[in-house]
Every structure is written in C-alpha cells, then in structure tokens.
Structure 1
Amino acid sequence: MKKTIQILQAKKGVEKITAITAYDALFANLFDPYIDIILVGDSLNMSFGGNQDTLSIGIEKMIYHTKAVCKGSKEAFIIADMPFGSYQSGDMALKNAVKIYRQTHADAIKIEGGIERSELIRHLVHEGIGVIAHIGLMPQFARFEGGYKIKGKNQEEAKKLLDSAIALQDSGASMVVLEGIQAKIAKNITENLKIPTIGIGSGIHCDGQILVWSDMFGFFERFEPKFVRKYLDGSSLIKNALQTYIQDVKTGNFPSLEESY
C-alpha cells in the first residue's frame, strides 16, 4: 500500500515511523517494501558527490535523483530536499517546489529552518505542496554556525525549538525532522505536537527515526557521527569481494566455461 501523509500521521503515538535516505532507483527499490519514508536528501552531495558539505548541490540535481528514486519506489512516502538557495523567498520556494512536483512523483518537499519559515510554509501548503519541516542541527547552516552544533543545550534554545516546531505545525507542515537536538528537548517537542516528529541524533522519544543509508550500512568512511548505528560493514564487504574478483581475473578463474558463451 502506498504510504500517504494521512497514514503516517495516524502512526503518531501508535507505531514508530521508519525512514531512510536513497539517491537512486536501485536502492529505492531495495528499501521500498520495508520502509515508511524515503528521503532524497541533499546529503547525497557528500556521500554520493564527495563534497565537504551539502551547500553546493542545486535544484536540477535534486530533481534528477528524486526522479530516479521515484522510479524505484511504489509504496514508500517520498520526500525531496529543497537544496540551499532554492527557497530564499516564498515565490522562489513555490517555483522550485512546483518544478519538483511537476518533474517527479515526490509526495512532499523538506525545508530547513525554524519559526522564520512559517509564512513560507503556509504559502507552499496553500498551493498544494506537502512540506516537511526541519529544525535543530541544520546542515545547510553549517558554514554560518561554524560547524555542526547540537541544539537544545540551554533553556533559551529549548524554548526557541519548541516555539518553532509549534509555529511550523500551525503553518501546515506535515511532519518535523528533529536533528541533533538534546533527547529530553526532542521528547518535549514530540509530546507537544499533533504531527509526527522524525529524529536523527535526537533520542528515542521521536515518533520516527531516519538515517543516511551509506552511514548505517557502513559505506561512508570519512567520519561516523555518534548517533549512527552501523547495521552492516558494507565497506569491508565490498573491498573483500572486489579483491576476490581481481584475484579470480588475474588467475584465470573468472570467467569459467559456464560463464562464457
């Protein structure tokens, strides 16, 4: 069954929501039968593109990867990240969100930012665009903030996060991603919202969790965030398999007679 925002919102307080990133049809097809949400994250600029941060990817590349993911998915709820610089005004955000909707089968777009994004989100929702909000540690603000900073460390930050989450909900956001927020603060936000929260590095009390696929399966080796649980040592498996292939080619073991025409 195709996941809709209504199905996902009905899970709040009943069943945890599962989410993962994907950037192509191959992995989207592998994840699709099992996962609730697939995010085409701008994280692909780092794990797929080899860049130092998410800031240099543009709207056309995000559309390209979202189209591929949509081709590989039939059931998951698909979210496309709005990249840095694509929603600096309401009109710009609407133009780029409409482009994503027209050229892909994405179910919603995701926007980073707190209470200051409220009117922008209201504008998009009014035009029929599903919006997922994203607060806390926001990778698109990493240069501005001098790195990736955990949020909710004091009372002022905690209040600002809660106020933002409520304002974004009231503006029509369908869900809120909580990234890099102190667990007790994320718990308080989750309990005060009617819409689901999706956590990443924000503790167990969120309504769902998301991880970047290349992190959780052990393919991204540059660094490993504290919040990532590695479910597979993918990098070692690939390297070992590759070495076996090389050895088989060099020794004449591959291809065999059965593998030849």
Structure 2
Amino acid sequence: MTLPELAEEKAAGERLVMVAVGEVLTATWAERAGVDIVGVGDSLGMTLHGHENTLAMTIDQMIMHTQAVRRGAPNTLCLVSMPYGSYATPDLAVTNAVRMMKESGADALKLQLGREGTDIIRAVADAGVPVMSHVGLLPHKVHQMGGFKMQGRTAEAAMDIVADTRAIEAAGAIGLEIEAMPYEVGKAVDDAVDIFTFSIGAGAAGTCQLLNGYDLLGAFDTFKPKFAKRYANLAQDATDAFAAYADDVRSGRFPDAEHSYQMKPDEIARFETLLNSEGAT
C-alpha cells in the first residue's frame, strides 16, 4: 500500500484495515496478518507507558517507537502521530514534522487540528510532508472536551465536525481520522471529502477501520472503550503464564532436565576430576 493508493481505494469503495501498535512484536504480528496500515499513535503513552492520557509523549519517544514498528513491519504503510505540543505553530510544526519523517521511517504524519489550524496543516504539507489530521474526539484536547467522550451529539456539533473536515482537505491534508461519533456524522465526514479517511468509534464510516492493537488483543485491560472489540485475551493469558512459571520455580518443577543444558558424561567425569585435583592442591 502506498499513499497515492489510499485515495484510489476510497474512490473504489474498498475497505482497509489499520491497527495501532507501538513496538516490534505487535508490528510483526500485524504485518504477518496482512493489515494494510500500522499506526503509531501516541495512545501508546497509555497502553505502553501507563499515563492517564496521551499528552506526556515526546517527539523522541514517538520516533523511537516508530523505528521499532518499522523494524517489525517493514513492508506495511506506517502512519505516526505528532505528539501534543509539537505542532503549536507553523514553524514548530514544520521543524518537528521534517525531523520525524527523517528519523522515524514513517510514510506519513498525523496531527489533530481543524479549522483553527489550517495554517499549520498547510505549512507542513507545503514542506513536502504527507500530513493527515483528526476530527471528532481529539485526545490532545481531552481536558477541553471533559474527557474521552463521544462527539457530534447535536446537529450543530455535527455540522462543526463536517466544517473542520472540509477545512482539513482544503489545507492540503491527504487524510484524516474520524473518532468517537455516531455513524451518521462519520459518514457525512467521509462523504464531504475526497481524501482518505479512517475511523475508530464511528461505526462503519470511512475507507479504513482502526483499532488499537492492544485493545483488540486484550493486552490492555485497564479499561475498554465502547467501540473496541477484543479478539483475544492476552492480559489474562500472560497473567496465567507468569503465575504458572512462579509456581513451577517455587515448587522446584522448573528448570527441569528438558530445559537445562547437558554435558556429555565423560566430560562431566573429567570436569569432576579436575575440580578434585584443584581442591587437592
């Protein structure tokens, strides 16, 4: 999958698959499974770093995580989020966007701006950086929004989201994320633009569906968003595995002969002779 193909897939009515991952193991699994896009979102601040929200993540951390994802999924289109505060002004956004593209190995970047940030989106796009944006629930505005809540609850709020969508496309973005809104609003967003769209928590709206990899694997179980579907329960499987290991160690069942290295009997005899000789001297 390449960036120009994203708009083509939308025009053709295709359905694409994206998962958010943050390190080499899950990236490897995603590529083996044939997902179309891996997203390195700053939600990993919550899933992998234990923060309450995404705001603490830094450019250095996002670059490091993206490099790891790239090593795990070298043949999959990769999108990385610019962290909070890294695109506050056009000049700052361009500087940080260029650095992230040069060092992370990502194919495109995503920020979280609507009509109020079209000058920033345009500056990044004009600098030659493939840039996407975000409508609906914006984790970088979690405090202004009063938490992680559904957006577009009223007709007026929905129209504001559509207006942001059109402004994002006009500013030169090549795609956008549609997050946490009723399907009808998400579909209106997708219909309003020709650029690639991907959704999470907006029903079947958009060209592409996104889920956080740690949610769908059941690895992150601190809380479960309404829109997340779990396809496995890795957190419980891992807890059970650690408990079984601890029990085996404490009972003396592990390590056993099967999981230990062996010397040949004649070498053991020679080794014991050498040890005895050393003790005698």
Shorter-chain TM-score range? over 0.9
Counterparts in 2 of 1:173-192, with a 5 A limit?
A: 173-192=173-192
Identity %: 33
Q: 8 Å contact 2:113–2:121 — kept in the other structure?
A: no
Q: 8 Å contact 2:26–2:213 — kept in the other structure?
A: no
- Matched residue type, 1:227: F
Partner of 2:80 in structure 1? 80
Larger Rg: 2
1:217-236: CA deviations, max 9, x gaps? Answer: 11222211110111111111
Select between 212-221 and 82-91 the one with higher mean Cα deviation.
212-221
**TM-score w.r.t. length of structure 1:** 0.95
Distance 1:183 1:80 in 2: 25
Distance 1:76 1:10 in 2: 17
Select between 39-48 and 145-154 the one with higher mean Cα deviation.
145-154
Deviation of 1:43 after TM superposition, in Å, equals 0.5
Structure 2 counterpart SS, 1:239: helix
Partner of 2:19 in structure 1? 20
1:67-102: CA deviations, max 9, x gaps? Answer: 111121122111111111100000000010111111
Partner of 2:145 in structure 1? 145
Deviation of 1:255 after TM superposition, in Å, equals 2.3
5+ residue gaps in structure 2? 262-281
RMSD (CA atoms): 1.3
Partner of 1:6 in structure 2? 4
Name the one with the larger helix percent: 2
Counterparts in 2 of 1:60-79, with a 5 A limit?
A: 60-79=60-79
- Matched residue type, 2:6: L
Runs of 4+ in structure 1 deviating by more than 3 angstroms, as ranges, are none
Distance 1:113 1:181 in 2: 17
Counterparts in 2 of 1:94-243, with a 5 A limit?
A: 94-243=94-243
Deviation of 1:192 after TM superposition, in Å, equals 2.2
5+ residue gaps in structure 1? none
Distance 1:205 1:147 in 2: 23
1:150-199: CA deviations, max 9, x gaps? Answer: 11111211111111111111222111100012210111111222112111
Tell me how many residue pairs correspond in the alignment.
259
Distance 2:205 2:45 in 1: 29
**TM-score w.r.t. length of structure 2:** 0.88
